[in-house]
């Protein structure tokens, strides 16, 4: 077996905290995919927002994810996704507000 190069033998400085964040994100997507889907849809709704459908779906998925986060926390999971679900709810509601404002502005 050939020896490893020096760069492969020594861990990079700061890589452990980055790996922890990556693993935490993977665990969140595994534990509570509804919260993650909700924030993605809410962000799409904030940017594009045709007929407010992504914002509505973002609010629905985020509320399901929020409910699931309470269930996961009760079961003892550390990474439940409550913050992601709340952010998705807020962005989805703001997207709906922007849509309604532009809808009223166009038709008045």
For 48-81, how does the pLDDT look when each residue is reduced to its tens digit (9 = 90+)? 877 889 999 999 999 999 999 898 888 887 777 8
Q: What is the mean pLDDT of residues 19-43?
A: 85
**Alpha carbon distances (Å) from 75 to 18, 31, 63, 69, 80:** 27, 12, 19, 10, 10
Rounded Cα distance between 97 and 104, Å, is 11
pTM of the model: 0.74
Evaluate whether residue 21 is within a structural domain. Answer: no
Evaluate whether residue 90 is within a structural domain. Answer: yes
Confidence of residue 102 (pLDDT cuts 50, 70, 90): confident
Where is 65: in which H helix or E strand?
A: helix 53-74
Evaluate whether residue 57 is within a structural domain. Answer: yes
State how many domains the chain has. 1
Evaluate whether residue 23 is within a structural domain. Answer: no
Q: pLDDT higher for 25 or 3?
A: 25
Residue 51, sorted as left (phi over 0), alpha (psi -120 to 50) or beta, turns out to be: left
Evaluate whether residue 8 is within a structural domain. Answer: no
Rounded Cα distance between 69 and 106, Å, is 39
What are the structure tokens assigned to 44, written together? 């799409």
Evaluate whether residue 88 is within a structural domain. Answer: yes
What is the span of the domain harbouring residue 56?
Answer: 32-106
């Amino acid at each position: 077996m050939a020896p490893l190069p020096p760069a492969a033998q020594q861990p990079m400085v700061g890589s452990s905290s980055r790996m922890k964040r990556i693993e935490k994100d993977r665990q969140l997507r595994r534990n509570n995919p509804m919260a993650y889907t909700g924030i993605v849809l809410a962000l799409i709704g904030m940017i594009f927002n045709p007929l407010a459908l992504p914002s509505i779906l973002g609010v629905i998925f985020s509320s399901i994810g929020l409910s699931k986060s309470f269930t996961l926390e009760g079961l003892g999971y550390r990474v439940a996704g409550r913050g992601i679900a709340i952010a998705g709810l807020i962005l989805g509601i703001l997207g709906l507000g922007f849509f309604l404002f532009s809808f009223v502005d166009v038709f008045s």
